[in-house]
Chain A
Amino acid sequence: MKSLFASFLADVGYQLELLVQVLVRLGSIARRRELIADQLFQAGIKVVHVVLLVGLFIGMIVALQTGIELSRFGQQDKIGTIVALSMAREMGPFITATILAATVGSALAAEIGTMAVSEELAALEVMSVDRVSFLVLPRVVSLAVMCPALTVVCDTIGIIGGGFIAESQLNVGLSLYYDSALEALQGGGWWLDLPKDVYSGLIKSFAFGVVVSIISCAAGLRATSGALGVGNATRKAVRDSIIAIIVSNYFLSWLFFQE
């Protein structure tokens, strides 16, 4: 138990140190633009179809589950508002970050872990190549950008999916559904005139993108012992990322919505 706790503290310490190293190197973003563009493609375009599919069904599930209960009280016309706010506040950011942890985060850990066990990281060190700037920074920046962007995609397709259910299962007209959904997502906020429900979700997504990328890169950098070590690093990256997403989600939600 004691060694587990010590190992947990060592992991968190290493991740925080890596985060600080990335922040210190933010000035290198322009120099790393080609690597960042490549990572944006890996973290965004290659994952967008998964986000579209999962987001669509999440929106449909939210609409179905809440719509059934609302219809018992004759309140099903509120379904647009509920789906829109659920997607924007929680489901969109959480689902997108989880998809990115499972797809991109695992790939990051495996890629960097393979580099670690095949001496490529040692080669970078020998050549005095700054591996944080060269390897980690582009991956953190790309996930920090793509996570909010994909969250918008997830929110949008989820609301559209909810609309299918509203019309086909709950007898709520599409125009009423979309009017209430759009009304819930408009005005009243301080940032780009967005309501807190939307910008809080986007800020959370940004934080999740950073968390997933840092945890995954850290797991890869610390991989040892050949293929087994790479497997362990990948598993650890996905597990720790999902735990960190959930824990940080609670605290960020508390920060935004505490009364």
Chain B
Amino acid sequence: MAEEPIIRFEDVHKAFGSRQVLSGLDLDVQQGETFAIMGPSGCGKSVTLRHVIGLLKPDRGRVLVEGNDMARIGRKELRELRSRMGYVFQEAALLNWLSAGDNVALPLRETTDMPEEEIVERVRDKLALVHVPDVYDKMPGELSGGMKKRVGLARALVTDPEIVLYDEPTAGLDPEIAASINQLIRELGEGLRVTALVVTHHIGCVKIVADRVGLLDGGRLHFVSTPVEFLSSSEPRLVRFLGDRMD
């Protein structure tokens, strides 16, 4: 019998005013799988991620995470579920009045009883993991865009989540750092069986991290397949989309 998917979208519709963003989206992500979503700007990739973590509710259809309907889940259950999820925001979304270290430590300080020494040690480990070991005391305003991004990634990983949602994890990073972040996402998936949903424009990212990939267009996923099949497809729509992105 097939394993129940960790993340499931069932005929999800979402509109903002008169603009229909998702139109019957179906998606299954299995435990330990890394699924990448590609698509043109404004096609609803980030909106899809936001449904998974309960920041948005569908107008129609269901979003299930570990079997929980995210539109009907209780507040306490949602908090518990979110404590096992991480979210990497496109623009990092660091709190400007907290240092990088305090930003990363925030979920641990606010939602756990972990001793302060242990929190500091864990935060330093995660900052080292994303290649910014020396920014603990720096304020977000002192960091470059790429460094902020990595601090945001460290914050998403600090609770050792079972599900991680990445919104453009390598956008704005130089190729060397982007490759190491891609490798890190891959290792989390393979070694720790972390389930991941990755929104990206980078083919390099898809090649390294994804087990499966799909093109979100017109509010639905198309051409869901392995990265090799996806990138070598001769479907005109896909060729048109990938045409100028072959990195």
Question: Which residues from chain A sit less than 8 Å from chain B, CB to CB?
Answer: 114-115, 118-120, 122-130, 134
B107 & A128 in contact (Cβ 8 Å cutoff): yes
Report which of A122, A128, A129 forms a contact with B89, defined as CB distance below 8 A.
A122
With contacts A122-B55, A122-B89, A134-B110 taken as known, whether A127 is within 8 angstroms of B82 at the C-beta atoms is yes
Query: Contacts of A122 on B, CB cut-off 8 Å?
Result: 50, 55, 89, 93
Which residue on chain A has the smallest CB distance to residue B167? A119
A126 & B55 in contact (Cβ 8 Å cutoff): yes
14 residue pairs A–B, Cβ–Cβ below 8 Å: A115-B95, A118-B93, A120-B93, A120-B94, A120-B95, A120-B96, A123-B87, A123-B155, A124-B95, A125-B55, A127-B106, A128-B107, A129-B107, A129-B111
Which residue on chain A has the smallest CB distance to residue B75? A128
Query: Contacts of B90 on A, CB cut-off 8 Å?
Result: 119
Query: Contacts of B155 on A, CB cut-off 8 Å?
Result: 123, 127
With contacts A118-B91, A122-B93 taken as known, whether A127 is within 8 angstroms of B55 at the C-beta atoms is no
B48-70 interface code vs A (CB 8 A; 1 in, 0 out): 00100101000000000000000
A129 & B106 in contact (Cβ 8 Å cutoff): yes
Besides the known contacts A120-B94, A120-B95, A128-B82, 19 further A-B residue pairs in the complex with CB atoms under 8 A apart: A114-B96, A115-B95, A118-B93, A119-B89, A119-B91, A120-B93, A122-B55, A122-B89, A122-B93, A123-B89, A123-B93, A123-B94, A123-B95, A126-B82, A127-B82, A127-B155, A128-B110, A128-B111, A129-B110
Q: Identify whether the interface residues of A are mostly helix, strand, loop, or mixed.
A: helix
Answer yes or no: B99 CB below 8 A from chain A CBs: no
Least distance between A196 CB and chain B CB atoms (Å): 41
Question: Which residues from chain B sit less than 8 Å from chain A, CB to CB?
Answer: 50, 53, 55, 79, 82-83, 85, 87, 89-91, 93-96, 106-107, 110-111, 155
Which residue on chain A has the smallest CB distance to residue B159? A127
Q: How far is the CA of A70 from the CA of B89 in the complex (A)?
A: 66
B83 & A126 in contact (Cβ 8 Å cutoff): no
Q: How far is the CA of A128 from the CA of B55 in the complex (A)?
A: 11
Which residue on chain B has the smallest CB distance to residue A123? B93
Q: How far is the CA of A130 from the CA of B95 in the complex (A)?
A: 14
Query: Contacts of A123 on B, CB cut-off 8 Å?
Result: 87, 89, 93-95, 155
Which residue on chain A has the smallest CB distance to residue B55? A122
The 8 closest A-B pairs by CB, nearest first: A123-B93, A119-B93, A127-B107, A129-B110, A126-B87, A128-B79, A128-B82, A120-B93
Q: How far is the CA of A127 from the CA of B96 in the complex (A)?
A: 16
With contacts A122-B55, A123-B87, A125-B55 taken as known, whether A130 is within 8 angstroms of B93 at the C-beta atoms is no
Which residue on chain A has the smallest CB distance to residue B110? A129
Q: How far is the CA of A120 from the CA of B148 in the complex (A)?
A: 13
A130 & B87 in contact (Cβ 8 Å cutoff): no
Least distance between B142 CB and chain A CB atoms (Å): 17
Query: Contacts of B107 on A, CB cut-off 8 Å?
Result: 127-129
A130 & B110 in contact (Cβ 8 Å cutoff): yes
Query: Contacts of B55 on A, CB cut-off 8 Å?
Result: 122, 125-126
B111 & A126 in contact (Cβ 8 Å cutoff): no
Least distance between B45 CB and chain A CB atoms (Å): 15
